[in-house]
């Protein structure tokens, strides 16, 4: 049996994707149905979204979810 540990260091590319599209935090928040503070917290790495929100972001940016969220070793 493989022990994968108890915690992952999850990172994201939300800031890069958002700025590529020239969107404000508020515009992205409105598009995916959350507050600007939620987008800000995710970009800072202070908040990991629900699986549903992660998929909404992936759908909005038209990328695979792994293109947004990844585990930092």
Q: What is the mean pLDDT of residues 62-68?
A: 96
Q: CA-CA distance, 39 to 67, in Å (whole number)?
A: 17
pLDDT digits (tens, 9 = 90+) for 12-42: 999 999 999 999 999 999 999 999 999 999 9
Asked whether residue 5 carries a pLDDT value surpassing 70, the answer given is: no
DSSP 3-state assignment of 69? strand
Percentage of the residues of the chain whose pLDDT score is greater than 70: 92
């Amino acid at each position: 049996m493989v022990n994968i540990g108890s915690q992952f260091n999850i990172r994201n590319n939300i800031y890069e994707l958002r700025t590529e599209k020239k969107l404000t935090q508020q515009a992205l928040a409105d598009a995916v149905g959350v507050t600007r503070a939620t987008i800000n917290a995710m970009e800072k790495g202070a908040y990991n979204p629900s699986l549903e929100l992660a998929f909404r972001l992936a759908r909005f940016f038209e990328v695979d979810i792994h293109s947004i969220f990844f585990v930092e070793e």
